[in-house]
Chains A and B, each alone.
Chain A
Amino acid sequence: MRKLCVILVVAVLGLSGITAAGEVVLRVATWDTAEGLHWTEVAMQRFMDEHPGIVVKLESIPQGYDDRILTSLAGGNPPDVFLWWNLPALAERGGIEPLDQYDINFDNIAPALNAWAIYNGRIYGVTKDYSCEVIWYNKKVFDKFGVPYPTDDWTWEDFRRVVIQLTHPDEMIYGTVFLEDPTYNFEEWAEMKGGTLISPDGTTFDGYLNSPETISAIKFWTDLVLVDKAAAPPDVVESMGGNYEMLASGRVAMIETGTWFEGYLKARHLDVSDFGVVLLPRPQDGERKNMMNTSFWCLASASRNKEAAIELLKWLADEGGRTQAEGGWALPTSKKVAEDLGLYEDPIKSKFIMALDSAVLKPPFLRTPLWWEAFEQYLADALDKILIGGEPVEKALNWAVEQSEKAKEG
């Protein structure tokens, strides 16, 4: 009996050795599930067809993705290639490798996207896909109140006017909702006014968050809530089911969000043509700026199969997101692929590609890895103080500056 066990164990070990001998197995992690995962699998399969000898094992982590990747990094055996978005956090700590030292062609990817993968002058990721902040509007609400649809060259004053026109409290319809995310929504509005949330080198709020330009941009939005009562505050939005639900059901006329609303409509079998997309308005005397949301394929520093991983990253950069774009799942990262697939003719998808040209190039969280810990939460608290606590904008923002300075010393 003992002898049989020993033979079995040795056999199993030996066999697993044989399969590993000729091939390299790459572990690749993604947070995509269902349809998104399917298109990634198709792309990986195409890569494997062109690269016999490399096997890609795709791991989908739908829940607690960040926590899982962090613990795998702590344990010293992260996936070789994984999807990530908060590059500075890992780049700063040496968890991912800079990619400019390898033979990867980044020219195929739109420059704005590459700009978001750069930290401290080095590029750390191959963009997988992206979304740009735009305004989605419900055509039926506009039709109901006889307001013409907005056009891409509209201004902040046009936006405010339309928001007020479309707000009808008696019917519980709002013109728009308050911006939901301090990091992803406010930098663009501040930059449009010539301000910014945090210093370019990412070291301080002081002089930036409380600059007249930034204050006026934030005040524009808080006034929409508190003075014009035309933008629904966050608690009302939550209690009405969220901004997507409100837009889909016509409780709100316009919301600022990215590409994901289209997927939301499709999942509920709602007609996408009942909705329109327009680029963000620009201030009277300024240019439009919009934020993006990007995800990148990164190379783990602790990977033991770097050569094969680089081949994969190279292939992904050259492919420019073609597979997922052909499947209609996400936008390609390459403008050339967008042209080939006729995406510039699509009334909705074309907007996102156009928005790349007005993208914010260095968002706050890419300027410093301390954004979340020493800055963002104080801005979020300040916004709550203004909306819930009724504090004046300048006072609340100065408070945030103070708190952030104190936190940095700690």
Chain B
Amino acid sequence: MNKLRRREALEGYLFILPGLLGLLIFMVGPIIATVAFSFAEYDLIQPPRFIGAKNFLRLFSDPLFAQSLKVTFTYVILSVPLSTAVALALALLLFQRVKGLAVFRTIFYIPSVLPSIVSAVLWIWLYNPQFGLINYVLKLLGIQGPRWLYDPHWVLPAFAIMGAWNVGPTMIIFLAGLENIPRVYWEAATVDGANAWHRFRYVTLPLLSPTTFFVVVTSTIGAIQTFVQPYVMGGGGVGGLGAPMNATLFSVIYLYQQGFRFFNMGYASAISWVVTTIIILLTLLNFALSRYWVHYSVE
């Protein structure tokens, strides 16, 4: 490499150095530390004590860990399809080129601009069994609404519905995916006698599948990491974190509780790595399955 190229390379590295250092020191460093902690007993005050794979063995016989996996994956199964469907539906509506399109797009996007704590507090009131808007509307329809956040069977659906309200960014991604489909396909389908449903089912959906794939993968990863809603909104009933009756004991909530409330930082690190491994495996599974339903068009 000649002198100029070398100098340019050096300048490049110097430019990214602050960001790179930040990444290494504040993200990669701690992540490596948690790997070390997961093999130790660490109560935050005394130095960590190496205990081998004990933390991981403990996970197998811990009923609360099993509960946390059940809660987390129930939520994933409820919220990912719901959010994806709602986002797609809204994107299709916006794709109709109606008047005031930009206004609607903004309105649908606003919920995701709110800080999650703000929307959590808002939804606590919406879900209030006595005075909340949701049960009020249900009452008008003659239905006795459930106790939502205070009922172990309804709290996860409640979170899933709240998640579906928050689909702004996903909707925009679907909209972009729709815009990317060449109009010729729809035109050809119409010429061949396809109605709106046929066009959707046989043209739109398959051509949208790369986008759908992206949305499903990222939503799944995000759903497994849910923390803010259960932290702020969980705790109905007498118990604190994870209430009522551990129905909101998401994996991240459980590991936070173990680390910061019970001083078991080593165990918490082990939990976080097991959950991370699950996320990686699920994502790989998603990729493997993708060849059956994702069609990448050749331009």
Do A and B truly interact?
A: yes
Q: Which residue numbers of A lie inside 8 Å of B, CB to CB?
A: 66-67, 70-71, 73-74, 89-90, 93-95, 178, 180, 182, 234-236, 238-240, 369, 372-373, 377, 380-381, 383-385, 387-389, 406, 410
Q: Which residue numbers of B lie inside 8 Å of A, CB to CB?
A: 43-46, 58, 61-63, 128-132, 147, 150-152, 236-240, 242-246, 260-265
Query: Is A381 touching B246 in the complex (CB atoms < 8 A)?
Result: yes
In the complex, which residues of chain B have a beta carbon less than 8 angstroms from the beta carbon of A372?
261-262
A69: nearest chain-B partner, CB-CB: B44
Query: Is B150 touching A94 in the complex (CB atoms < 8 A)?
Result: no
A313 to B113, CA, bound (A): 48
Subset of 30 A-B contacts with CB under 8 Å: A70-B45, A70-B260, A70-B263, A71-B44, A73-B44, A74-B45, A93-B46, A93-B263, A94-B45, A94-B46, A178-B238, A234-B236, A235-B147, A235-B237, A238-B150, A238-B236, A239-B131, A239-B132, A373-B264, A380-B238, A380-B240, A381-B243, A383-B239, A384-B237, A384-B243, A384-B244, A384-B245, A389-B245, A406-B63, A410-B61
**Distance of A77 from chain B, by nearest CB (Å):** 13
Partner among B238, B246, B264 whose Cβ is within 8 Å of the Cβ of A383: B238
Query: Is A388 touching B45 in the complex (CB atoms < 8 A)?
Result: no
A227 to B128, CA, bound (A): 24
Given contacts A66-B260, A180-B238, A380-B240, contact A235 B45 (CB under 8 A): no
A380 to B147, CA, bound (A): 19
Query: Is A385 touching B245 in the complex (CB atoms < 8 A)?
Result: yes
Query: Is B43 touching A388 in the complex (CB atoms < 8 A)?
Result: no
A73: nearest chain-B partner, CB-CB: B45
A387 to B147, CA, bound (A): 13
B241: nearest chain-A partner, CB-CB: A377
In the complex, which residues of chain B have a beta carbon less than 8 angstroms from the beta carbon of A235?
129, 147, 150, 236-237
In the complex, which residues of chain A have a beta carbon less than 8 angstroms from the beta carbon of B128?
238-239
A369 to B44, CA, bound (A): 14
A372 to B132, CA, bound (A): 33
A89 to B43, CA, bound (A): 10
Query: Is B240 touching A373 in the complex (CB atoms < 8 A)?
Result: no
In the complex, which residues of chain A have a beta carbon less than 8 angstroms from the beta carbon of B131?
239-240
**Distance of B127 from chain A, by nearest CB (Å):** 9
In the complex, which residues of chain A have a beta carbon less than 8 angstroms from the beta carbon of B242?
377
In the complex, which residues of chain B have a beta carbon less than 8 angstroms from the beta carbon of A381?
239, 243, 245-246
In the complex, which residues of chain B have a beta carbon less than 8 angstroms from the beta carbon of A236?
130
Query: Is B239 touching A380 in the complex (CB atoms < 8 A)?
Result: yes
Q: Which 7 A-B pairs have the closest CB atoms?
A: A235-B150, A380-B239, A373-B262, A95-B45, A239-B130, A74-B44, A93-B45
Given contacts A94-B46, A389-B245, contact A234 B237 (CB under 8 A): yes
A378: nearest chain-B partner, CB-CB: B239
**Distance of B7 from chain A, by nearest CB (Å):** 20
A133 to B245, CA, bound (A): 26
Instruction: Given contacts A93-B43, A387-B237, list 10 more A-B pairs with CB under 8 A.
Output: A66-B260, A234-B150, A372-B261, A383-B238, A384-B243, A384-B244, A385-B245, A388-B150, A410-B58, A410-B61
**Highest count of chain B CB atoms <10 Å: which of A239, A383, A388:** A239
**Distance of B265 from chain A, by nearest CB (Å):** 8
A202 to B132, CA, bound (A): 42
In the complex, which residues of chain A have a beta carbon less than 8 angstroms from the beta carbon of B46?
93-94
**Highest count of chain B CB atoms <10 Å: which of A373, A384, A385, A389:** A384
A180 to B238, CA, bound (A): 6
A303 to B79, CA, bound (A): 48
A56 to B3, CA, bound (A): 57
B44: nearest chain-A partner, CB-CB: A74
Query: Is B238 touching A234 in the complex (CB atoms < 8 A)?
Result: yes
Given contacts A93-B263, A372-B262, contact A377 B239 (CB under 8 A): yes
**Distance of B40 from chain A, by nearest CB (Å):** 13
In the complex, which residues of chain A have a beta carbon less than 8 angstroms from the beta carbon of B151?
388
In the complex, which residues of chain A have a beta carbon less than 8 angstroms from the beta carbon of B238?
178, 180, 182, 234, 380, 383-384, 387
A89 to B44, CA, bound (A): 11
Query: Is B62 touching A410 in the complex (CB atoms < 8 A)?
Result: yes
Query: Is B243 touching A239 in the complex (CB atoms < 8 A)?
Result: no
Partner among B130, B150, B243, B245 whose Cβ is within 8 Å of the Cβ of A240: B130
In the complex, which residues of chain A have a beta carbon less than 8 angstroms from the beta carbon of B130?
236, 239-240
A246 to B224, CA, bound (A): 37
A383 to B244, CA, bound (A): 10
**Distance of A375 from chain B, by nearest CB (Å):** 11
